[in-house]
Amino acid sequence: MTELPAHVDIREVCLRDGLQIEEPISLAAKIELLEAVVATGVREVEATAFVSPSKVPALADAEALAAELTRFDNVEFSALVASPNGAKRAIAAGLNSIEYVVSASDAHSRANVGRGTADATVAIADVARIAHDSGASVEVIVATAWDCPFDGPTASQRVLDIITAAVDLGVDRIAIADTIGTATPRRVQTLIGQVRPILAGTPLGAHFHNTRGAGLASAFAAVQAGVTRLDASVGGLGGCPFAPGASGNIATEDLVYLLRDSDIGTDVDLPKAIEAAAVAQRLVGHDLPSSLLRAGDRIIG
């Protein structure tokens, strides 16, 4: 078997990717979820997004939420942005870790942010400058890295071009995202094999959805290929708008279970992650797709 890492860093994304398509919940509810998430021991939390409140009403309270983050120690909070203006808002709100999304497919990029991949890539420079001028770090997340919901398969060269530009501009981290939950192990490992040589030492993360059941298999394939940064969401919170009822983000607790039993450590306490998933389920008021939330941990003996 491939050599596996001793540790994987999980970034908890339930507050942003998890909640963004839900009916808006109150700021107090978000704080409750945040407390449950921080209690898991996770070191990185994607707290919100600074995007159009009319397009993503569930995250319209980004500034108000950001003001609450100072109460938590030992956690690095990040926020997603889709434009230089969003980066300015995030910095003004006190965030010091910015994620800037660039869709590798033109059709998704236009649907998502109203401009094509090339223009969104050019804007990396502005976002990076805004972040770095304020002492913040910036990560470029390549969305639709494997497939686009409109265009089908994404040519890997489009992914590589974005990453090359981002690395040249000195961004701090890169992530590749399976935005619509179509990736599978072989395709994951193929793309990572292409991306790795052009990273020039920039850390690489990966983001998977479980929409077609292969989310955990793809995440593990990424780890086998050397990725040690993965996004996950407690409860698997985060549905897929075009496929109601389908699983969303890979569930933090399911990922931690799989990694633990593969002798890979994380900072996340499994029982606490299951508790946080239960909090998430209660707050959004519908069943979440997490497996461990239903089945529990196995008997370790």
Catalytic residues: 240
Q: Backbone phi, then psi, for 242, in 5-degree steps?
A: -90, 0
Check residue 261 for interaction with its own copies (CB under 8 A). Answer: yes
The piece of 23-31, 113-121, 137-145, 151-159 that touches its own copies (CB under 8 A) is 151-159
Q: Does 228 bind its own copies (CB under 8 A)?
A: no
235 binds its own copies (CB under 8 A): no
**Tokens 């407390």 -> residue:** 35
Contact window for its own copies (CB under 8 A) among 22-30, 48-56, 77-85, 256-264: 256-264
User: Do 145 and 154 touch, CB atoms closer than 8 A?
Assistant: yes
Q: Which residues, at least 6 apart from 43, have a Cβ–Cβ distance to it below 8 Å? A: 9, 74, 75, 76, 267
Does position 181 interact with its own copies (CB under 8 A)? The reply is yes
Site string for its own copies, 236-255 (x = CB under 8 A): ----x--xxxxx---x--x-
| Contact call for residue 20 and its own copies (CB under 8 A) | no
- How many angstroms separate the first and last alpha carbons of the chain? 26
162 part of the interface to its own copies, by CB under 8 A: no
- Which of 103, 117, 179, 211 touches its own copies (CB under 8 A)? 211
Piece of 28-36, 123-131, 175-183, 278-286 that binds its own copies (CB under 8 A): 175-183
- Give residue 254's Cα distance to chain centre: 16
Quick one: 201 or 245, whose CB is closer to its own copies? 245
Q: Which stretch binds its own copies (CB under 8 A): 68-76, 91-99, 128-136, 145-153?
A: 145-153
In sequence order, what are the residues at sequence separation of 6 or more whose Cβ sits closer than 8 angstroms to the Cβ of residue 218?
178, 183, 184, 185, 188, 208
Q: What angle do CA 111, 113, 118 make, to 5 degrees?
A: 95
Instruction: Closer to its own copies by CB, 38 or 225: give it.
Output: 225
Which of 106, 147, 161, 231 binds its own copies (CB under 8 A)? It is 147
Structure tokens at 177: 């995202």
Contact with its own copies (CB under 8 A) among 213, 241, 265, 271: 213
**Binding positions for its own copies, 33-52, rule CB under 8 A:** none
Contact criterion met (CB below 8 Å) for 231 and 175: yes
Cβ neighbourhood burial of 87 (10 Å; 0-12, 13-18, 19+): buried
Select from 53, 114, 152, 271 the one that contacts its own copies (CB under 8 A).
Answer: 152
3-class secondary structure per residue, 147-194: EECCCEECCHHHHHHHHHHHHHCCCCEEEEECCCCCCCHHHHHHHHHH
Q: Is 186 exposed, middle or buried (0-12, 13-18, 19+ CB in 10 A)?
A: exposed
Closest CB to its own copies among 96 and 262? 262
Where does this chain bind its own copies (CB under 8 A)? Answer: 1-2, 4, 147-149, 151-153, 180-182, 184-187, 189, 193, 210-214, 216-217, 219-221, 224-225, 240, 243-247, 251, 254, 257-258, 261-263, 290-292, 294-296, 298-301
